[in-house]
């Protein structure tokens, strides 16, 4: 952004073409250097004619720049500060073996869960986000952080076999809530994603929900996959890696109850598109007001413009004094 501190001086720039026009129409009253004959044949040909015109025009261009410099041109450097308390969010992601099923299209359930989690994180640059993973037990993969690049790298590394198999929903939720215990922000959220029913762990999911409610944590629960028999990869001692048809137990009513007790919502995703839409919906629901303070600093360009005018004037004088551009 360019502004002028004394813009009224730009009127002199407008007057400059008028001066040039009047000067061009004024008759030359100087005595002739040659009394007989004409000077047309003495004009420098080709490039010389161009240099002659340039030498005559550069002083006027230099004058134009000098007048602009007098108006004090300034460049505005816009900066902004964001004042936001944000939202503290813990993502609790199921990494049990059943999450290797490919019934949702676009890859394994866990692959889709990781991808949508990364996209969710990218859309919330001002929020602290952390991740808890759970299977037969739960562990904290990443505490609350604003370093989302590192966070997404850790999410990309989520895989099966990091802990014993199973689905400890209560443990996963309780661990995520514990990570939010000391958060000072008014908005604290857990997004819990699973594809099965709680079958492991020492903490009941509803007990963990009551703990979340007591600490002011809102829980969004997401049940992924279709309620059917799916092929789950398994390691067989004799045959190696084989797919076993397995019916996965789900308990959507319990997930609904968790969300209801904490003021959140329950979602069900049976395909990749729906799962992405669920994270987008949660993203819209959990937004903290962001107050942006915008200010500008101005840098004076007058000395630079005046320096350019001086350089052009010097160049014009140098060209004008060249013998090849002078005529008798």
| Of 8 and 131, more confident | 131
**Would you say 138 and 174 are in contact if contact means Cβ atoms under 8 Å apart?**
yes
Residue 4 parent element (H or E): strand 2-4
Residue 130 parent element (H or E): strand 128-134
| Of 207 and 100, more confident | 207
Across residues 115-129, what is the average pLDDT? 92
pLDDT given at position 251? 92
pLDDT tier, 242 (very low <50, low <70, confident <90, very high otherwise): confident
**Would you say 62 and 123 are in contact if contact means Cβ atoms under 8 Å apart?**
no
Quick one: DSSP state of residue 84?
-
Q: What does the alpha-carbon distance between residue 275 and residue 267 come to, in Å, rounded to a whole number? A: 9
CATH number, domain 85-289: 3.40.50.410
pLDDT given at position 34? 53
285-312 pLDDT, tens digit each: 887 665 555 556 666 777 777 777 777 7
Indicate if the pLDDT at residue 323 is higher than 50. no
Across residues 35-54, what is the average pLDDT? 56
**Would you say 146 and 128 are in contact if contact means Cβ atoms under 8 Å apart?**
yes
pLDDT given at position 226? 79
Indicate if the pLDDT at residue 229 is higher than 50. yes
140-162 pLDDT, tens digit each: 999 999 999 999 999 999 999 89
First and final C-alpha spacing in the chain: 49
Indicate if the pLDDT at residue 324 is higher than 50. no
pLDDT given at position 318? 72
Beta bridge partners of residue 194, listed in sequence order: 223
pLDDT given at position 198? 95
Across residues 213-242, what is the average pLDDT? 81
Q: What does the alpha-carbon distance between residue 250 and residue 312 come to, in Å, rounded to a whole number? A: 80
Q: What are the structural domain ranges in the chain?
A: 2-28+42-78+300-325, 85-289
pLDDT tier, 282 (very low <50, low <70, confident <90, very high otherwise): very high
Among 68-72, 126-130, 223-227, 321-325, the range with the most confident prediction by mean pLDDT is: 126-130
pLDDT given at position 20? 67
pLDDT tier, 238 (very low <50, low <70, confident <90, very high otherwise): confident
Across residues 171-192, what is the average pLDDT? 92
Indicate if the pLDDT at residue 268 is higher than 80. yes
Tokens representing residue 304 in the block: 């630079």
| Of 244 and 233, more confident | 244
State the average pLDDT for the chain. 80
Least confident range from 20-29, 60-69, 290-299: namely 290-299
| Nearest C-alpha neighbor of 217 from the set 249, 183, 252 | 183
| Of 186 and 298, more confident | 186
**Would you say 191 and 212 are in contact if contact means Cβ atoms under 8 Å apart?**
no
| Nearest C-alpha neighbor of 271 from the set 125, 73, 102 | 102
| Nearest C-alpha neighbor of 269 from the set 82, 50, 105 | 105
pTM: 0.63
């Amino acid at each position: 952004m360019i502004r002028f501190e004394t813009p009224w001086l730009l009127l002199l720039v407008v007057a400059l073409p008028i001066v040039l026009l009047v000067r061009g129409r004024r008759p030359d009253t100087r005595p002739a250097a040659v009394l007989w004959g004409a000077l047309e044949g003495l004009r420098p040909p080709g490039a010389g004619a161009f240099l002659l015109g340039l030498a005559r025009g550069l002083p006027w261009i230099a004058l134009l720049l000098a007048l602009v410099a007098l108006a004090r041109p300034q460049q505005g450097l816009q900066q902004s500060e964001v004042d936001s308390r944000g939202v503290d969010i813990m993502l609790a992601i199921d990494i049990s073996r059943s999450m290797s099923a490919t019934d949702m299209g676009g890859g394994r359930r866990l692959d889709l869960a990781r991808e949508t989690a990364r996209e969710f994180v990218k859309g919330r640059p001002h929020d602290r986000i952390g991740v808890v993973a759970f299977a037969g037990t739960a562990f904290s993969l990443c505490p609350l952080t604003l370093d989302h690049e590192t966070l997404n790298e850790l999410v990309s590394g989520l895989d099966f076999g990091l802990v014993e198999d199973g689905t400890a929903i209560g443990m996963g939720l309780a661990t995520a809530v514990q990570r939010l215990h000391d958060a000072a922000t008014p908005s604290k959220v857990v997004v819990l994603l699973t594809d099965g029913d709680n079958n492991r762990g020492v903490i009941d999911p509803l007990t963990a929900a009551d703990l979340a409610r007591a600490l002011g944590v809102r829980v969004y629960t997401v049940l992924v996959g279709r309620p059917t028999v799916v092929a789950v990869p398994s390691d067989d001692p004799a045959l190696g890696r084989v797919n076993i048809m397995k019916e996965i137990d789900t308990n959507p009513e319990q997930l609904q109850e968790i969300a209801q007790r904490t003021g959140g919502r329950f979602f069900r995703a049976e395909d990749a598109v729906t799962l992405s839409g669920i994270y987008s919906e949660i993203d819209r629901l959990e937004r903290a007001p962001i107050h942006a303070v915008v200010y500008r600093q101005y840098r004076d360009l007058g000395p630079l413009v005046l320096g350019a005018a001086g350089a052009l004037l010097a160049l014009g004088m140098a060209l004008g004094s060249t013998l090849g551009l002078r005529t008798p």
